[in-house]
Amino acid sequence: MLSPSSARIDREYKPDRYAREGVMHYLIADPDTRTVEIYHLRDGHYDKTWSGNSGIHRFDLGPCQASIDLDRVFARL
């Protein structure tokens, strides 16, 4: 979840570090825009594979499936 104090770190620093460590998927939840972005590691960098702001989104994590209910994520904001 982004916050004003961490947004730059979460968008610039962490993806590079996570990519170096081989983290295959990276999600960013932005409470200001009520949007979740999903990134997938390809060839050493992250490509945005999905972005949304409502409903349930199911996505493939390779060996397993995952889902996120965006209405529930942002309900308490």
What span, in angstroms and rounded, lies between the C-alpha atoms of 21 and 45? Answer: 11
pLDDT value at position 62? 81
**What is the pTM assigned to this prediction?**
0.86
pLDDT value at position 59? 87
55 and 46 in contact (C-beta within 8 Å)?
Answer: no
Q: What are the two backbone dihedrals, phi and then psi, of residue 35, each rounded to the nearest 5 degrees?
A: -125, 145
Positions in the chain whose pLDDT score sits under 70 = none
